[in-house]
Amino acid sequence: MQLKWIDSLEIALELLEKYPEVNPETIRFTDLNEWILALDCFDDDPSHCNERVLEAIQANWIAEK
């Protein structure tokens, strides 16, 4: 399954699995964006990302942690 920006919960779960030691409340959006783009299962246009999308992913990551 290829993830898109709208898949905020699934992206958060992938990040939680890949970076279990990271506190998602302290991550910078620039780092978060890079980490998402580096996920093997992520396949979407990088220009479709914005702060609102990253906030949704971060909120899901916090909730799942």
Model pTM score: 0.96
Instruction: Indicate the pLDDT class of residue 8, thresholds 50, 70 and 90.
Output: very high
Per-residue pLDDT tens for 16-52?
999 999 999 999 999 999 999 999 999 999 999 999 9
42 DSSP β-pair partners: 3
Distance of CA 50 to the CA centre of its chain: 12
Nearest alpha-carbon partner for 13 in 43, 36, 47, 44: 36
| DSSP H helical ranges for 1-65 | 8-18, 29-38, 51-64
Q: Which domains does the chain have, with CATH numbers?
A: 8-64 (1.10.10.600)
